[in-house]
Chain A
Amino acid sequence: MTPLVAISGLSVSFDGAAALHGVDLSLAPGEALGLVGESGSGKSVTWLAALGLLPPHAAVSGSVRLEGAEILGAPASTLDRLRGGRVAMIFQDPASSLNPVLTIGKQIGEALALHRGLDGRARMAEAKRLLDLVGMPDSARRLSAYPHELSGGQNQRAMIAMALAGRPDLLIADEPTTALDVTIQAQILELLASLRKETGMALVLISHDLGVVAETCDRVAVMYAGRIVEEAPALALFEAPRHPYAEGLIGALPLLDGPRRRLTAIPGTVPDPREAPPGCAFAPRCPKAASACAGAVPALTEVGPARRAACFFPLRSTPSRAERKVTA
């Protein structure tokens, strides 16, 4: 089966500082992929680069194929048709991601005009239907509301309605719940999951919150310092991470059931892209680092069925870990 999206060797640098080092990632139609990692690990940059949404001073190379067709460096008109059409994206802070001087109806309507050719009354009727679909209360009145008149959760629902306007094959949700209250977070995640079921679209969920990803996604890719360090089915990853960084992330999560234990933190911070170590970028923080790690960058290699990890000394699964259940 042709993947919906195939990213290979995607590299990005900003004024000489590399932010992505050759990312390879593919996504099947209808699949839900989680992309996790700390701030600055390149999760968002990967997808902004793929859609040509980075500022012009970003140097992007590699290949991004949408159902086999190269879209990296495609002409602006091609990208405009694709963005919001086949691939839609929603962002972290819904209040500032919506234009403050345009009504919600106008902003959703713009997408409907661009990708569905709707106008006049049909456009507004469809905008209202989309608001109903995303569970916006009092949708008819919300069409003429401005973003500052809505709550954060309502704004994110409006963003999602706008993203659905072009009937996308893929929705990229970049930290969609980070700026929201915990209860609203859960509602938005549920909404995304149910919309995926109804529409059959694929979902990329970018988050620094493993719990959020675990609930929603089939497969997870863990990023660190501009590289994918581990890729695995969601459950398998939480049961037995193979990369020490993924293990560190999971160790920092509290358990809802099971014994109380001290949460572990990963010592140190993500390296500055300008001062990245020559070998494995995680080596300075890694409890299992050996001399080999400082010498070369480990490649992302097969470590099990449908699993890849970029580590010279991948972890073995341990029984205690397998019993663990991760919950948000």
Chain B
Amino acid sequence: MLRFLAVRFGRALLTVALVVTFAFVVLRLSGDPATLILGPEVPPEAIRAFRESWGLDEPLWRQYFSYFGAIASGDLGNSMRDGRPALELVADRIPATLALTVPALLLKIGIGIPAGVYAAMHRGGPIDRTVMLVAVAGFTVPSFVLGLVLVMVFSVQLGWLPSGGRDTWLHAVLPIVTMGVGGAAILARFTRSAMIEVLGQPYIRTASAKGVPWGAVIRGHALPNAAIPTVTIVGFMVGSLIAGAVVVESVFSWPGVGRLLVVAVSNRDLAVVQTILLLVAATMVTANLIVDLLYGALDPRMRRGAGQGAH
């Protein structure tokens, strides 16, 4: 178990390092922060001075190593725009993003999983077809389109809810719903197919044959098995809690991490972009690690690693 954890943790660190490297290289190849931040009209001396002060005049490999050295000592650099530490800047925005993504995640799980289970239990019937129709619509419509439609209906036409900003809790309703609907649709489809697969297994018939009432067959025999594939998708959703709201935050002018990322990328505010990407990679990798551990808890066949079971 300890070895398993050590290997997984090592792999997780490697993944994060790769993401950071990729971000570092792409950002530096895709444009010059000096001209973007200072504007095109500044004299060349100012640009040179800016580059020197941020170390941008050094060769790329030296910048890369000093950057990694700094990360290792906990320094993620400062924003080129206002000089504040990038980590502080990003950390300031995290609560706003979580205020959207956490309720949205609960909405996805709260609607998606029961809808999928219910549809699977009534496979082929009108309920199943309705759920699946809504689910297909839910995940084929991009979130910015759905967001704009919701704004048109609930803000412009009905005037019930604000269309953007973050002043009251009412402002959070539309962005949360926008994110929740798409995710619930994806989760409903996955849960449904996992559940249908499980309900067709011989052990479900065995449970019925020994007199287990149908409700208990679903709860005690089908759900624990269907949970295994479903956890993967939920894990992915947990992993995108920090960065999953880029589009929706932009549509609803929500001052979260996603909007900060958009602004920082267009300004080539290197330290900020890299900090956000590092954070995203870290959450994603952590979520994956938790999913791996959950597999072991949910499925005894995974506990001793592959190749040791009877099958």
Looking at chain A, what size class is its interface with the partner chain? 35 or more
Specify which chain A residues have a CB less than 8 angstroms from the CB of B309 in the assembled complex: 148-149
Asked whether, in the complex, the Cβ of A148 is within 8 Å of the Cβ of B210, the reply is no
B299 within 8 A of A: yes
B291, chain A: closest CB distance, angstroms = 16
A200, chain B: closest CB distance, angstroms = 21
B179-217 contacts to A, CB under 8 A, are: 201-203, 205-214
Query: Which of these binds chain B: A81-89, A201-209, A263-271?
Result: A81-89
B44 within 8 A of A: no
Most B CB contacts (10 A, CB to CB) among A85, A97, A165 go to A97
Given contacts A148-B300, A148-B311, A151-B310, contact A100 B225 (CB under 8 A): yes
Q: Which of A88, A100, A111, A114 contacts B203 (CB 8 A)?
A: A100
A188 within 8 A of B: no
| Smallest CB-CB A-B distances: 8 pairs | A84-B210, A84-B211, A83-B211, A148-B309, A146-B300, A99-B203, A89-B209, A97-B202
Question: A53-B208, A77-B213, A110-B212 provided; 9 other pairs, C-beta below 8 A?
Answer: A91-B202, A95-B310, A98-B203, A99-B207, A110-B210, A114-B211, A146-B301, A150-B310, A166-B211
CA–CA, A185 to B309, complex, Å?
A: 22
CA–CA, A244 to B224, complex, Å?
A: 50
Specify which chain A residues have a CB less than 8 angstroms from the CB of B299 in the assembled complex: 100-101
Q: Which residue of A lies closest to B207 (CB)?
A: A99
Q: Mark A221-255, 1 if CB is under 8 A from B, else 0.
A: 00000000000000000000000000000000000
Asked whether, in the complex, the Cβ of A76 is within 8 Å of the Cβ of B210, the reply is no
Asked whether, in the complex, the Cβ of A83 is within 8 Å of the Cβ of B210, the reply is yes
20 contacts between A and B (CB under 8 A): A53-B205, A77-B213, A80-B212, A83-B209, A84-B209, A85-B211, A88-B209, A88-B210, A91-B202, A91-B205, A91-B209, A98-B203, A100-B301, A101-B224, A101-B299, A102-B224, A110-B220, A150-B310, A162-B210, A166-B210
B51 within 8 A of A: no
B298 within 8 A of A: yes
Q: Which residue of A lies closest to B211 (CB)?
A: A84
Specify which chain B residues have a CB less than 8 angstroms from the CB of A81 in the assembled complex: 211
Looking at chain B, what size class is its interface with the partner chain? 20 to 34
Specify which chain B residues have a CB less than 8 angstroms from the CB of A99 in the assembled complex: 203, 206-207, 221, 225
Most B CB contacts (10 A, CB to CB) among A48, A57, A84, A99 go to A99
B305, chain A: closest CB distance, angstroms = 13
A159 within 8 A of B: yes
Specify which chain A residues have a CB less than 8 angstroms from the CB of B206 in the assembled complex: 91, 97-99, 159, 162
A229, chain B: closest CB distance, angstroms = 27
* Count of chain A to chain B residue pairs whose CB atoms are closer than 8 Å in the complex: 89
Specify which chain B residues have a CB less than 8 angstroms from the CB of A101 in the assembled complex: 224-225, 298-300
Specify which chain B residues have a CB less than 8 angstroms from the CB of A115 in the assembled complex: 211
Asked whether, in the complex, the Cβ of A76 is within 8 Å of the Cβ of B214, the reply is yes
Asked whether, in the complex, the Cβ of A93 is within 8 Å of the Cβ of B202, the reply is yes
Specify which chain B residues have a CB less than 8 angstroms from the CB of A82 in the assembled complex: 211
CA–CA, A3 to B213, complex, Å?
A: 27
A96 within 8 A of B: yes
Specify which chain B residues have a CB less than 8 angstroms from the CB of A53 in the assembled complex: 205, 208-209
Asked whether, in the complex, the Cβ of B208 is within 8 Å of the Cβ of A83, the reply is yes
Q: Mark A62-81, 1 if CB is under 8 A from B, else 0.
A: 00000000000000110111
A147-161 contacts to B, CB under 8 A, are: 148-151, 159
Asked whether, in the complex, the Cβ of A114 is within 8 Å of the Cβ of B212, the reply is yes
CA–CA, A165 to B212, complex, Å?
A: 13
Asked whether, in the complex, the Cβ of A97 is within 8 Å of the Cβ of B203, the reply is yes
Q: Which residue of B lies closest to A162 (CB)?
A: B210
Q: Which residue of A lies closest to B227 (CB)?
A: A101
CA–CA, A81 to B231, complex, Å?
A: 34
CA–CA, A85 to B213, complex, Å?
A: 13
Q: Which residue of B lies closest to A95 (CB)?
A: B311
Q: Which of B210, B221, B301 contacts A163 (CB 8 A)?
A: B210
A163, chain B: closest CB distance, angstroms = 7
A172, chain B: closest CB distance, angstroms = 9
Most B CB contacts (10 A, CB to CB) among A48, A80, A150 go to A80
A51 within 8 A of B: yes
Q: Which residue of B lies closest to A159 (CB)?
A: B206
Specify which chain A residues have a CB less than 8 angstroms from the CB of B207 in the assembled complex: 99, 110
Asked whether, in the complex, the Cβ of B310 is within 8 Å of the Cβ of A149, the reply is yes
Q: Which residue of A lies closest to B224 (CB)?
A: A101
Q: Which residue of A lies closest to B208 (CB)?
A: A53
